[in-house]
A and B are shown apart, each in its own frame.
Chain A
Amino acid sequence: MISVTIEKIGLVAQGINNWQEATALLQSETDYQGGELPLLKPSMLKPNERRRTTRTIKIALQAAEEALQDLDNNESLASVFSSSEGDLDIIDQICLALTEVGRPVSPTQFHNSVHNAPAGYWSIGAGSRQGSSSLGGLDGSFATGLLEAAVQSVVEQIPVLLVCYDQPPPELLQPFMPIDEPFSIAMLLNAESDASMARLNLSTLPHGTESRLSKPALETLRLSAPSARSLPILEAIAQNRSASITLPYLPGLNLQAELQPC
């Protein structure tokens, strides 16, 4: 069993600007109403770097920035970035360019096409020279990132930033990739903490059924993006209650999260 604390959270989704708004929603009796995606404008990058970034990079950085807003030790954080599909706009544009005469692939798009592009921009913006891992895990992307970040924190005894993010695919790829809504969740994990929101005990569990949300629109949001599979954990944290949550992880294997509020 892996035991870590959650110290900070950042969140961006349609109609949800930040973790504070998410908390209010998850505590209330009313269901999710949707809405506009907040303006994505992470301030950690210099304007020349920000110009080169995409909506995928920005949604990852915006949640990260919120989770770390009160901290002054960003340079000491290791990081784990997890995304089911990475930056599909760039994949789309590069694959289109490859069908054209002269194959006019954009150099900036190519270097942004690496799966660790958001992590690279984050390390530049935060000034962190610590290790950084970028993962993909299809529908299990959140559980994959959470387990990796927790293991890093426990074994290396360091605080780890986890960011899990998705953007819906561009038109050509939509029929093939089940991401309907943009979503980005960031968590600061630490093995031990004096100021945490909750403690998570993680273990893998064969089979079982993934935890669902009782409100229909919120449950639809949970299923709209792999990163939104984090919502049952977020709901329990917002409601300050203990919970036993089953997250989709791998074929035939779930990640079990026992959550206790601190």
Chain B
Amino acid sequence: MTPLSITHFTLTNALGCGNAASLEALRTGRSGLQPCDLENVDLSTWIGRVAGLEDMPLAGKLSAYDCRNNRLAQLALQQDEFLPAVKQAVERYGSDRIGVFMGTSTSGIATTETAYRTRDKGALPAEFTPRYTHNIASSSHFVRDCLGLNGTAIAISTACSSSAKVFAAAYRYITAGVCDAAIVGGVDSLCLTTLYGFNALDLVSTEPCRPWDAQRNGINIGEGAGFAILEKPQDGDSYPSLIGYGESSDAHHMSTPHPEGAGARHAMQQALERAALEIGDIDYINLHGTATRSNDASEDSAVCGLFGDQTPCSSTKGFTGHTLGAAGITEAIFALLCLQDGLLPQNLQTEQQDDSLGANILLDQGRRELRHVLSNSFGFGGNNCSLIFGAAA
């Protein structure tokens, strides 16, 4: 495929607001996880929480969109000079020629949870406006309005692969000429549905998560948002780029991954083929690595089956928690930060790798020049997406 330049990006999560906070944490091994203190939650677990969202209501013409999820999206958009970069892109392409591609799993469902909790004589409160908050498309409509864009927009919701797939969708829309440039992003925020839902599946850990560890016992749920601008490459560009993507389905089970990771392997293979790379060209794999017993085993089987046991790998869920629909964009931007910095992040919190898992897991961080990084995102429903990013020329 023809690479797309990633001309600007920004990331906000439990590590802090903006790229610098995430990079500093990855470099120093600082986790953003904390004991769960979310209002109305009585679970013993750890979460990756973004501070202060409760005090950041959306104002003015965007106030109809006010909910935790859109607040988090706005907070992320305000970092790293992202808004001025969008403005420049609008001057270059026009506001109708820049597409918005958002991934989210639960959008603003926390608003609906609150509406149910505060029923009046059995009915939901009249001020409940789910089309601006709860609806999946609330995220893409909000970002489109917030950025003053009036071209194409899409909201993808495929659980934990949602905001990885936005890169593939944006590539196709640009290739087909539906738009000339793309804002890709993802946002998911803490809510009771996912905390108690994953708890009902016995997948929530009472400790900071430990992907690939022999003693791993589940996920920590996090929240986060990230955005990137994708453009066709220009002569003389010096930007990192999207060079490959692969999308697949497990066709196996709704919440349990394929035992040998067949769908995951298919997604990674496709990404390599699109990038015209061999397995030895991949310098680092950012794993999906949720720290559940079955997810890590399945992904390990897929990675080792395709790459063998040499390629350096780590999951960064121990830093941010599992940001679900925002995991794709979060780890895509981690990949870009690592490419820029020559950083191989450690698989935080993992003490001893499970003997039955063969991938080359980085228990300590490393440093070296990186050319190509692969990032995996896999979701419920057996929905898989792998992305490959290349370093700036």
Contact = CB atoms under 8 A, between A and B. Distances in A.
Are A and B associated in one complex?
A: yes
Interface of A: 1-2, 52, 75, 84-86, 91, 94-99, 103-107, 110-117, 119-121, 123-124, 126-138, 140-141, 144, 147-148, 151-152, 154-156, 172-173, 175-177, 204, 206, 250-253
A114 B196 contact: no
B112 interface: yes
Given A128-B251, A138-B131, A172-B124, A119 B178 contact: no
Ordered nearest first, which 6 A-B pairs have the shortest CB separation? A120-B381, A131-B247, A136-B136, A110-B197, A115-B157, A123-B249
Contact of B254 (A111, A173, A177): A111
Q: By DSSP majority rule, is chain B's interface helix, strand, loop, or mixed?
A: mixed
Nearest to B153: A250
Given A103-B196, A133-B165, 15 more contacts: A2-B178, A85-B135, A104-B200, A105-B196, A110-B197, A120-B383, A123-B250, A131-B247, A136-B137, A141-B137, A148-B169, A151-B172, A172-B124, A176-B130, A252-B150
A132 B161 CA distance: 11
Nearest to A253: B150
B290 to A, nearest CB: 14
A223 to B, nearest CB: 16
A210 to B, nearest CB: 17
A129 B250 contact: yes
A105 B109 contact: no
A157 to B, nearest CB: 11
A131 B381 CA distance: 12
Interface string B168-196: 11011101111000000000000011001
A250 B193 contact: no
Given A131-B247, A148-B169, A105 B382 contact: no
Contacts of B176: 2, 151, 154-155
Given A120-B382, A204-B151, A129 B248 contact: yes
Given A98-B113, A119-B383, A124 B158 contact: no
B152 interface: yes
B173 A98 contact: no
A95 B131 contact: no
A99 B117 CA distance: 6
5 contacts: A52-B254, A95-B113, A107-B200, A120-B381, A172-B119
A138 to B, nearest CB: 5
Given A120-B382, A151-B176, A206-B150, A250 B144 contact: yes
Contacts of B96: 206, 253
Contacts of A113: 193, 197
A116 B154 CA distance: 15
Contacts of A84: 135, 137
A83 to B, nearest CB: 9
Contacts of B116: 95-96, 98-99, 172
A45 B53 CA distance: 43
B244 interface: no
B324 to A, nearest CB: 10
Given A147-B152, A250-B141, A131 B157 contact: no
Interface string B261-286: 01100100000000000000000000
Given A119-B381, A132-B383, A98 B193 contact: yes
A138 B135 contact: yes
A126 B251 CA distance: 8
A84 B130 CA distance: 11
B255 interface: yes
> B171, B254, B383 — which one has the most chain A CB atoms within 10 A of its CB?
B254
Contacts of B247: 130-133
Contacts of A103: 192, 196
B252 interface: yes
Interface string B22-42: 000000000000000000000
A134 to B, nearest CB: 5
B178 A95 contact: no
B59 interface: no
B178 A147 contact: yes
